[in-house]
A and B are shown apart, each in its own frame.
Chain A
Amino acid sequence: MKDNIFVATKQSFCNFLETLSKTYTVVSPYGEENYFFEVFKGKFVFNKYRPVTSLRQFFVPSQQFLGSYFLEKTVKKKPFCIVGVKACDLQSLKIQDYVFLESEIDEEYKNMRDNNIIISSDCIAFKNVCFCVGLDINPYPEELFDLNISLVDDVLLVEVGSLKGKKLIEENQSIFQNARESYLEERTVSRSKLVEEIRRSLKEQGLPSKEILYELVRKGYEKNIWEEEALKCVECGACIMNCPTCHCFLIFDTKEGSYFLRGRIWDGCQYKNFSRVAGGANPLKLRAQRLRNRYIKKFEFFPDRIGIYACTGCGRCIESCIAKIDLREIFRYLYNYNKKSKV
């Protein structure tokens, strides 16, 4: 018996979330297929795969008040408890943590990281755009969660992943029982089964291997693919707004009575004025440059800086693109072009 794994029935887990609602704004999956996180209202759904939107909104809201200057004004908010977070989104925290906690600490982000609770869950199915396994990310959480839940035999296997998570279990002992060894074995079996299924799907998707993505982008700078694909782009920004690792933001100032307020809103490199300077120069003035910039940032910049890709294989950029610009297709092109040029 492992001392960090427990079981709970769906009903008692629901009661647990009800209890948490007193301290936290509990958000959980709502709906079955293309679903979003919504404020928990007593109905718990075990989500099959990741939601439409990413985890980012709970740590860096799309529009956020940062504070006032010259005159103090504070706003207190209830922390979130986010239920049903999937492994791909958890991985994105490594990027967001690097951006917001490395060297100068972003207080707002740190507060959210310290106070929010993450209850993650295993994927039990996947979308046709999912390619996490191709980036060596398993479809089940192994780190970065407070509690993780897996569905076994219609009960929930609950794994503790942090001190915060441990405390939650201790405070709600009547809900969680120790787990039988057989539950763990079952979890292992269903996890491996899903990994195999995603692997099979990856073969059809034709994504080149993880190891060479960096080189493909580096060597692909002058390739025509960026222009060809960018011709289809309508600059809606869905890829950047849905991406869990996108982190760019714009600081804005405003006035409210005698208070000067500062806030931030999400920004992104697919918008045409993203890199424009006051003098008029704009290093990313063409859509093709901006599309390429996104790949350089995710597959070259972050590996250079911290040794990991800023892509978790969630496939949201593919799913949300109305122009059908497909990351996998771009990599396939770069791969084939590279192969040809070597011959």
Chain B
Amino acid sequence: MGIYSPIKAKITKIIEETSAIKTFVFETEKGFSFSTGQFVELTYPGIGEAPFTPSSSPLRKDEFEITIMKVGKVTAFFHNAKVGDVLGLRGPYGRGYPVENFRNKEVLIVGGGVGLAPLRSLIFTLFSSLDDFKKIVICYGARTPQDIVYKSQIKEWRGYKNVHLRLTVDKGDNKWDGNVGVVTTILENLPLKAKEAVGIVCGPPIMMKFTTLKLLEMGILPQNLYLSMEKNMSCGLGKCGHCRLGKYYVCKDGPVFCFEDIKDIHDIWD
């Protein structure tokens, strides 16, 4: 079956991020390369496939990670998988983050919910050559404190030189002493010059919409704004037709798009 054929990917570790989100660590027989922001199709054998963007650094060659939220039939099977289980893997597909375009710039990364997964891969990539970027500002919003992913790692990010981190939750609890409100509420007075900065957004559709509008209002230019578009990518090869966005297929021409290239397409936030 050629292009639709998966290779074996063995689960070596499972990390419980939240009650609905797990990170799976995989190894493959011959190693697996991707560039940050590209996606893969992960198969639960005999059940089905779903698209995910690896959440680990592409510089790690021996293994890679995929963070999965349980939202439907196939992801429920993934959540029941155990260490040692062998899943199927196709890819990588599409175009990831054009990291070259971010060099010598201030980089603003805005994530919502499990949308931090692809961004974490990008963040690790940027961290591997921190001196190449003027500044990295990470803004992350989750529904509640319990829904924050990568909790222990996020705290460490604050310690890096030139890295700024802001967190928010839609709804706090008695232990939460940080900001409460949607992610756009932590985008005020950011320590960067918007007109020259690069903005990167990933999260659920409604968050993507309002964050993008906010970043544009702040002065980030459409050609410096990058969005991870979520569509129903099924074949990953531009053949099955599910993920059309204007004249593009998200699986081939995305999933990362420069806002300049998609801003005139109707209803991109639907």
Interface residues of A (CB under 8 A from B): 66-70, 99-100, 102-108, 221, 247-255, 260-262, 264, 267, 269, 274-283, 285, 289, 293, 297, 300-301, 304-305
Closest CB in chain B relative to A253 CB, distance in Å: 5
Partner of B45, one of A69, A102, A285: A69
In Å, the complex CA distance between A107 and B4 comes to 9
Given A105-B3, A262-B1, A262-B4: A267 touches B45 (CB 8 Å cut-off): no
Q: A106 touches which one: B75, B86, B231, B239 (CB < 8 A)? A: B239
Cross-chain contact B231 with A277 (CB below 8 angstroms): yes
Most buried by A among B45, B86, B241: B241
Is A100 a contact of B239 with CB atoms below 8 Å?
yes
Q: Which residue of B lies closest to A293 (CB)?
A: B244
Instruction: Decide if B43 is an interface residue (CB 8 Å cutoff).
Output: yes
- Contact A248:B242 (CB < 8 A) given known A69-B45, A279-B230, A281-B270: yes
Contact B2 A107 (CB under 8 A): yes
In the complex formed, the residue of A with least CB distance to B43 is A253
Chain B residues, Cβ within 8 Å of A247: 239, 241
Q: Which residues of B contact A305 (CB under 8 A)?
A: 247
- A274 → chain B closest CB, angstroms: 7
| Known A251-B235, A304-B247; contact A279-B71, beta-carbon cutoff 8 A | yes
CA distance A67 to B5 in the complex (A): 8
Which of B46-54, B124-132, B157-165 touches A?
B46-54
A69-B242 contact, Cβ under 8 Å, with A254-B46, A281-B205: no
| Residues on A with beta carbons closer than 8 Å to the beta carbon of B44 | 253
- The interface residues of chain B lying within 8 Å CB-to-CB of A269 are 241
Could you say which residues of chain A place their CB within 8 Å of the CB of B239?
A: 99-100, 104, 106, 247, 249
Residue among A106, A300, A305 having the largest count of chain B Cβ atoms under 10 Å: A106
Q: A251-B234, A253-B47, A260-B45 are in contact. Are A69 and B240 (CB under 8 A)?
A: no
B88 an interface residue at 8 Å Cβ cutoff? Answer: yes
Establish whether residues A104 and B45, one from each chain, have CB atoms under 8 Å apart when the complex forms: no
Residues in B whose Cβ lies below 8 Å from that of A100:
239
- Could you pull out 24 A-B pairs where Cβ atoms are within 8 angstroms? A66-B1, A69-B6, A70-B8, A70-B45, A103-B238, A104-B237, A104-B238, A104-B239, A105-B2, A108-B1, A248-B240, A251-B49, A253-B43, A254-B46, A267-B240, A274-B242, A277-B231, A278-B50, A278-B72, A281-B204, A281-B205, A281-B230, A283-B231, A305-B247
Which chain B residue has the least Cβ–Cβ distance from A284? B270
Q: Are B3 and A104 in contact (CB under 8 A)?
A: yes
Chain A residues with Cβ below 8 Å from B240 are 248-251, 264, 267
Q: Which residue of B lies closest to A248 (CB)?
A: B241
Given A99-B239, A248-B240, A267-B241, CB of A283 within 8 Å of CB of B267: yes
Q: Which of A67, A251, A264 has the most CB of B within 10 A?
A: A251
Option from A106, A250, A261 in Cβ contact (under 8 Å) with B234 = A250
Minimum C-beta distance from B226 to chain A (A): 20
Taking a contact as CB atoms under 8 Å apart, the answer to whether B232 and A253 are in contact is no
Known contacts A221-B266, A248-B240, A279-B230; A253/B48 CB under 8 A: yes
List of 6 A-B pairs having minimum Cβ-Cβ separation, nearest first: A67-B1, A248-B241, A255-B46, A107-B2, A66-B1, A283-B270
Minimal beta-carbon separation of B236 from chain A (angstroms):
9
Give min CB distance, A262 to chain B, whole Å: 6
Known: A269-B241, A281-B230. 8 other contacts (CB 8 A): A104-B237, A106-B3, A108-B2, A253-B45, A262-B4, A267-B240, A267-B241, A301-B244
Q: Are A277 and B45 in contact (CB under 8 A)?
A: no
